[in-house]
Chain A
């Protein structure tokens, strides 16, 4: 039967492991589930089996490799290389100063400019980043959160300056601050104004950039921080609920924005558990949207998601083995019905991926799509005793977490009380203890080790990147009209204090070449700053 391991408080934290008394399940086990599973039909409510009737037979998932490093010019070259290799969408990684809303010339940025992603200080960097790339044809994803509204303002200002209408733009901005508070830690402002910025972008996008996914509600980082699959599922959907509830507060009807909410999940090692997680996520979201928020458009019910293979599962010992891990994880994401996928590169525990490693990761997806045949079948695991049982228990477990969060007083109270961070840290430590005891076997690490020292060629960042970026920022600053900048920044401060939607004000500031750091400072003057108080 199905057993759900429990935490000390009696709530399931780890996914249940289905194992009949002899290691298999049967029709009786499925019939005995209470409540019974809702399997349904692909493309129909509640979409357990996928959001499209024909799934990949109609259109393959988007192969979207996350990349970015150095200056905007360096990343632009990598983007054009990836498009030439057959990648179908772009995904932008920003450097840590940008993620934290700091300019490259801020003393706190020193040593980190262009290192883990591309450095963007002004709209001019954004123009360089997408130079010669037809933004009306390519979908662009941007992984940015605390300063998401500012980066979106840069992007929209850049499109305006290139004469591309906003309604032609397609893409996704992550804009998910709640998981930053739970797990990823790139936060600048306190929770309340941080969420307000997220909602400003959702609201503005619904009106002005209709094809843009204004938030990518992310479980990926929650999982990487140590959460279980169930926690990833439950916390991510809880975050989604909070955004929906806050946007409804603005008076926007649910069907006006719900179809632009997208999701981002981890693709981890436990193959069937991962597939069950995606299937349960779709069903839960469809039920929530219809029953709790009264959405009537089918597009509002459908949970669309991007998946990325688990960075934390990669090992630095025998790094070639990572290719195999990534391939299985990617297959789980595809059997789970993802809309787009990033496959990690084998060398990511050592450094940023080399061009060769990125190509191999992309090829892994291409083999999956064109050679394995998995794309020819819609939800091939639907009806499997095991997968349906797991899906059902994920569903039940997530509902129990929703109740717990509500009992804590809702999302913001749970954040302030440290609920999510405690839960995740607990799971991370539990996993480490199990690993230390040898209960998890990791090939090449605690079993099948090899003395052979394989060192893949590693990409290193040109040490001149920081100098180059500082020089180009200086140039922009010298050429701009400082009184225009000051005026638009005052408008941002005023709008922040008055509760106006900040996007139009940030876009105006972007056109004057106000920097990311200046705009974030203007917002911080009103919102205050935030530090984590670990418990």
Chain B
């Protein structure tokens, strides 16, 4: 029993912002432990990306690469650790992230621990572990100097690991300026990369809409797609639980799809810092389409206008959302308004209301489209409108 409270132990500033991926692989559905650890690490200042259930080893390696994680925690209570962990290790090698700190949590017989360690696992945590024991075992990522030339070259060749490293560096105190200077000449507007921002209040279904867009755009051959998903960061601990990607990607990784979760401090208009530089990096890396998801605070998101070619505002019936957006005078920002869940009662009324209200002073109006992910209604029209 420790004498200090956990929150006091968490005041380790060096750890704040350390990126950890927590993942469930295989068919095991036991997620109590992994969800508790995710919240515990968030409250200790980590930036935690949770994969959701039923991931393949390859998908987990892809998440580690895109998210530039320092640590990867795999939760297993299904007795399949000796089969699944070596596969995760192989997938990490294949993608070039064998350096990630691999942790296993769950039910592991003591006799199997040496085998797992020999396979590359650094730490194993069983039942009865405290959050403090875990946070104390996780060190910040090593401060290795960046080889900018090499990273730029490999990013240009679409190497996910290098792209992810550059994105991290763009916001780092040490390398941020160097990255900004390096990419000063890359103008996203001068490249072929299109930028779509998806905004709207929390819980309105932005990630679900993006999941649908990913699916539709990926059906076009060779479309290279990047997503920057902004999720809120705690103003108290600096920690964040970044959960958008688990609603976006299926468990099969694709080389042409890059998803990065970004912790977003409050007061930055719902956008992560240095997004402008990140856009340049992604444009340089040859993406055809970038989708930016805002935090969705619903106010003051005018900045997103500067960063996107098209702004999509997402609304949902029965939420009273439209009033809020109306008051804030933000309609005019949107090039397109999407009403989610238009199979719900009240959707028709909302659509009619919107169409009535929404004409700008100059007589122009943004298109309003109702969609449903249940019935797939409206999707063709949406995709056509987005070109």
Residue positions of A touching B, CB distance < 8 A: 96-97, 99-100, 102, 108-112, 115-116, 184-186, 224-226, 312, 314-317, 349-352, 425, 428-429, 432-433, 435-438, 442, 445-447, 453, 455, 458, 461, 531-535
- State whether the Cβ of B40 lies closer than 8 Å to any Cβ in chain A: yes
| With A112-B26, A436-B6, A436-B132 as contacts: A351 and B36 at CB distance below 8 Å | no
Are A533 and B208 touching (Cβ within 8 A)? yes
* Selected interface stretch from B12-20, B78-86, B90-98, B149-157: B78-86
Top 6 A-B pairs ranked by shortest CB distance? A111-B83, A185-B29, A438-B1, A96-B27, A445-B128, A111-B80
With A108-B27, A115-B79, A535-B203 known as contacts, the answer to whether A350 contacts B130 (CB < 8 A) is no
The residues of A that contact B127 with a CB separation of less than 8 Å are 312, 314-316, 349
Q: Does B132 contact A531, Cβ atoms closer than 8 Å? A: no
Taking a contact as CB atoms under 8 Å apart, the answer to whether A315 and B35 are in contact is: no
Chain B residues with CB under 8 Å of A317's CB are 128
| Most chain B CB atoms below 10 A, which of A226, A352, A428, A433 | A433
Point out the residues of chain A lying under 8 angstroms from B50, CB to CB. 534
A446 touches B246 (CB 8 A): no
Q: Are B107 and A100 in contact (CB under 8 A)?
A: no
Q: Is B52's CB under 8 angstroms from A428's CB? A: no
A166 vs B120: C-alpha distance in the bound complex, in angstroms?
53
Is B378 in the interface zone, CB < 8 Å from A?
Answer: no
For B5, the chain A residues whose CB sits under 8 A away are: 437
B189-203 interface bits toward A, Cβ cutoff 8 Å, 1 = contact, 0 = none:
000000000000001
Residue among B40, B80, B243 making CB contact with A115, cutoff 8 Å: B80
Tell me if B107 and A350 are in contact (CB < 8 A).
yes
Q: A351-B109, A435-B130 are in contact. Are A531 and B52 (CB under 8 A)?
A: yes
Q: How far is the CB of A417 from chain B (nearest CB, A)?
A: 9
| Contact present for B107 and A351 (CB under 8 Å) | yes
Q: Chain B 118-145 against A: per-residue CB contact (8 Å), 1 yes, 0 no?
A: 0000000011101110000000000000
Chain A contact residues: over half helix, strand or loop, or mixed? loop
Evaluate contact between A534 and B246: CB separation under 8 angstroms.
yes
User: Contact size class for B?
Assistant: 35 or more
Complex Cα distance, B54 from A102, in Å, reads 13
- The answer to whether B29 and A534 have CB atoms under 8 Å apart is no
B327 at the binding interface (Cβ < 8 Å): no
Q: With contacts A96-B78, A112-B78, A316-B128 known, is A438 near B107, CB below 8 A?
A: no
For B126, the chain A residues whose CB sits under 8 A away are: 316, 349
Q: Which residue of A lies closest to B79 (CB)?
A: A115
- Please give the distance in Å from A321's CB to the nearest CB on chain B: 12
* Beta-carbon contact of A352 and B36 below 8 Å: no
B111 at the interface (CB under 8 A from A): yes
Q: A224–B77 Cα gap in the complex (Å)?
A: 13
A312 to B: closest C-beta gap in Å: 8
Which partner residue on chain B sits nearest A314 by CB separation?
B127
A100 x B79 contact (CB < 8 A): no
Give complex CA distance A531, B215 in Å. 15
Beta-carbon contact of A185 and B79 below 8 Å: no
List the B side residues contacting A116 at CB < 8 Å.
78-79
Within 8 Å of chain A (Cβ to Cβ): is B247? Answer: yes
Query: Complex formed: what's the CA distance from A458 to B27 in Å?
Result: 23
Q: Does B276 contact A (CB under 8 A)?
A: no
Q: Which residues of A contact B247 (CB under 8 A)?
A: 533
Q: Is B2 an interface residue (CB 8 A)?
A: yes
Contact across chains for B27 and A97 when beta carbons are under 8 A apart: yes
Per the bound structure, the CA–CA distance linking A447 and B2 in Å amounts to 11
* A contact residues around B80 at 8 Å (CB): 111-112, 115
A428 engages B128 (CB within 8 Å): no
List chain A residues, Cβ under 8 A from B31: 185, 225
Within 8 Å CB of A225, what residues of B?
31-32
Q: Which of A112, A316, A428, A437 contacts B6 (CB 8 A)?
A: A437
Instruction: Name B110's closest neighbour in chain A (CB-CB).
Output: A455
Tell me which residues across on chain A come within 8 A of B35, comparing CB atoms: 425, 428-429, 534
